[in-house]
């Protein structure tokens, strides 16, 4: 069992007849798509439904998972108290998410509950789902997990989704993920929030990217652009994307409307049942065969690089990430031993891929997000070959041509002036509020400190006029 399906849905109170009092007829297409989605969820028969909601508890630097055994909520604030639900929480899955977060030193857990009642971003999906169960004549016997968002950068929302997925896999749960969120709120001049040109652009992009399953593109949205569009659900959608990382997904965009000046979009994500045991056997057979033929990644004698190569090869061939225990076994098969620094130390790491001298993917973490450097490399190798928004995913036939490097980052240190930088020795981090851009040191074509800072600033979506802070760091590069 694992995540068996997912959806992106809005939460406009006016869509409920008890609230809309007839106005819901003006968004009939959204209602029909919502009902279709709910019927599909019913057919998947999940044990647990994970709902990420922008209207649950939200902190600047922490992801709150609702604690307790159950919660109740109603639509009283929208003058419809008769619409109410009580939902049981999957306490075991909540505990496993907390355990995974603690092990990864990631800021997520059940602390800080300010309001235990179910919010409307959770209630409205439950309204349609429970209605579908009732119409099908089957009991709504699922538990839920309610996850709040955070003001942390988009990659952290994605990482939270990955942790949820790890917890689901660890407990062998049959889970559906519901990403609750409206789109841009400034779609019409006469709407409640007015008009901004970024709003229709945002809605078109998000429907295209989610409708095609291009989840990596969700990380490439400038946060200033999102703010100007006044979107509601982007972080929720990114978290869902992280939970679906590595799964074969069949996406389908069902509807988009902006009748009342707020964008409502629904996308459905079918996940075909996968024979994971066959996938594992196929990987080992293909990997051994390719090794004999000399078709694994080039120049993979350094253990750090060999680990990255094994991780991306496993993922490209089977669409399943490699665990640390599997990596140890693979090293043993080759007569290699992982250095203690890989498994006993924690650090941020970047994995870079080049093909015929050209960049083919580069993803990394500034600070450690997992239990050790080895896990950091395993995770970032998968992202570098599949989730760099600048490139298409790496294909199996490209593996022999890849040159792989791994940069293990030292602790960033604050600096007062660009004069304390050296483009060959130090990488740079440029920060402005929650926006942050990083550039590694000693890169071809980056010859001046000014150029290094400018590239990092633009990567972080920091405008030229915005004030910023500088940090530097050293790396150990493995080729």
Domain 413-474 falls under CATH 3.40.50.720: no
**pLDDT (0 to 100) of residue 2:** 84
Q: Give the best-scoring range by mean pLDDT among 87-91, 170-174, 325-329.
A: 87-91
In the CATH scheme, what architecture does the domain 276-409 have? Answer: 2-Layer Sandwich (3.30)
Q: How far lies 189's CA from each of 233, 260, 321, in Å?
A: 21, 10, 47
pLDDT bin (cut points 50, 70, 90) of residue 460 is confident
**pLDDT (0 to 100) of residue 297:** 53
- Return the structure tokens found at 184: 């841009």
**pLDDT (0 to 100) of residue 367:** 83
Residue 18, Cα to own-chain centre: how many angstroms? 34
Q: Which sequence spans correspond to the domains of the chain?
A: 3-270, 276-409, 413-474
Q: Give the neighbor-by-neighbor strand order of the sheet with 427-432.
A: 413-415, 469-473, 427-432, 435-439
For residues 337-350, average pLDDT: 90
Q: Give the best-scoring range by mean pLDDT among 193-197, 343-347, 438-442.
A: 193-197
For residues 329-342, average pLDDT: 82
- Return the structure tokens found at 233: 């659900």
**pLDDT (0 to 100) of residue 286:** 54
Q: Could you give the CA distance from residue 308 to residue 397 in angstroms, rounded to a whole number?
A: 17
Residue 399 contacts residue 439 (beta carbons within 8 Å): no
- Return the structure tokens found at 345: 């130390």
Stretch among 325-339, 351-365, 419-433, 436-450 having the lowest mean pLDDT: 325-339
Q: Could you give the CA distance from residue 350 to residue 341 in angstroms, rounded to a whole number?
A: 16
**pLDDT (0 to 100) of residue 184:** 97
Q: CA 198, 200, 202, 205 torsion: positive or negative?
A: negative
Residue 143 contacts residue 69 (beta carbons within 8 Å): no
- Return the structure tokens found at 124: 């409205």
pLDDT in tens, 252-265: 999 999 999 999 99
Stretch among 87-91, 134-138, 329-333, 359-363 having the lowest mean pLDDT: 329-333
Cβ contacts of 127 within 8 Å, gap of 6 or more: 16, 83, 85
Which fold would CATH assign to domain 3-270?
Protocatechuate 4,5-dioxygenase; Chain B (3.40.830)
**Residue 156's closest CA among 43, 17, 61, 54?**
61
Q: Could you give the CA distance from residue 440 to residue 69 in angstroms, rounded to a whole number?
A: 46
pLDDT in tens, 257-295: 999 999 999 999 998 865 444 444 455 555 555 554 444
pTM (two decimals): 0.63
Q: Could you give the CA distance from residue 444 to residue 388 in angstroms, rounded to a whole number?
A: 19
For residues 208-218, average pLDDT: 90
**pLDDT (0 to 100) of residue 94:** 96
Cβ contacts of 479 within 8 Å, gap of 6 or more: 299, 302, 305, 403, 405
Q: Could you give the CA distance from residue 137 to residue 184 in angstroms, rounded to a whole number?
A: 36
Q: Give the best-scoring range by mean pLDDT among 55-69, 260-274, 331-345.
A: 55-69
**Residue 205's closest CA among 231, 180, 181?**
231
pLDDT in tens, 142-181: 999 999 999 999 989 999 999 999 899 888 889 999 999 9
């Amino acid at each position: 069992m694992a995540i068996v399906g997912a959806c992106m849905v809005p939460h406009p109170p006016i869509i409920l007849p008890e609230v809309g009092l007839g106005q819901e007829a003006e968004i009939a297409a959204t209602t029909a798509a919502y009902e279709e989605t709910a019927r599909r969820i019913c057919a998947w028969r999940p044990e647990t439904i994970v709902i990420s909601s922008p209207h649950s508890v939200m902190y600047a630097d922490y992801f709150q998972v609702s604690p307790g055994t159950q919660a109740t909520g109603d639509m009283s604030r929208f003058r419809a108290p008769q619409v109410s639900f009580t939902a049981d929480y999957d306490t075991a899955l909540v505990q496993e998410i907390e355990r995974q977060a603690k092990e990864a030193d990631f800021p997520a857990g059940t602390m800080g509950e300010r309001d235990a009642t179910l919010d409307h971003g959770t209630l409205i999906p439950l309204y349609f789902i429970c209605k579908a169960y009732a119409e099908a004549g089957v009991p709504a016997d699922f538990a839920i997990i309610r996850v709040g968002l955070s003001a942390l950068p988009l990659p952290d929302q994605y990482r939270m989704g990955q942790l949820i997925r790890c917890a689901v896999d660890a407990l062998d749960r049959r889970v559906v993920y519901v990403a609750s969120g409206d789109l841009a709120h400034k779609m019409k001049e006469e709407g409640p929030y007015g008009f901004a040109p970024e709003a229709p652009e945002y809605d078109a992009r998000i429907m295209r990217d989610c409708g095609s399953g291009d989840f990596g593109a969700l990380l490439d949205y400038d946060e200033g652009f999102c703010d100007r569009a006044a979107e509601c659900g982007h972080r929720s959608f990114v978290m869902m994307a992280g939970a679906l990382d590595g799964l074969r997904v069949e996406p389908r965009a069902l509807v988009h409307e902006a009748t009342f000046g707020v964008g409502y979009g629904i996308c459905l994500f079918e996940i075909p049942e996968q024979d994971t045991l066959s996938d594992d056997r196929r990987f080992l057979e293909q990997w051994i065969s390719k090794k004999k033929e000399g078709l694994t990644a080039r120049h993979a004698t350094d253990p750090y690089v060999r680990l990255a190569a094994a991780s991306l090869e496993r993922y490209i061939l089977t669409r399943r990430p490699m665990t640390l225990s599997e990596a140890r076994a693979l090293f043993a098969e080759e007569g290699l031993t992982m250095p203690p620094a890989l498994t006993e130390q924690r650090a941020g790491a970047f994995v870079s891929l080049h093909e015929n001298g050209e960049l083919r993917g580069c993803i990394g973490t500034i600070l450690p997000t997992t239990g050790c450097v080895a896990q950091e490399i395993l995770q970032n190798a998968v992202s570098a070959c599949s989730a760099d928004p600048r490139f298409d995913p790496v294909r199996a036939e490209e593996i022999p041509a890849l040159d792989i490097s791994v940069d293990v980052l030292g602790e960033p240190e604050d600096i007062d002036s660009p004069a304390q930088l050296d483009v060959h020795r130090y990488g740079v981090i440029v920060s402005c509020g929650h926006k942050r851009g990083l550039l590694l040191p000693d890169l071809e074509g980056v010859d001046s400190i000014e150029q290094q800072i400018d590239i990092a600033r633009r990567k972080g979506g920091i405008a030229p006029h915005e004030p910023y802070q500088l940090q530097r760091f050293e790396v150990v590069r493995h080729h």
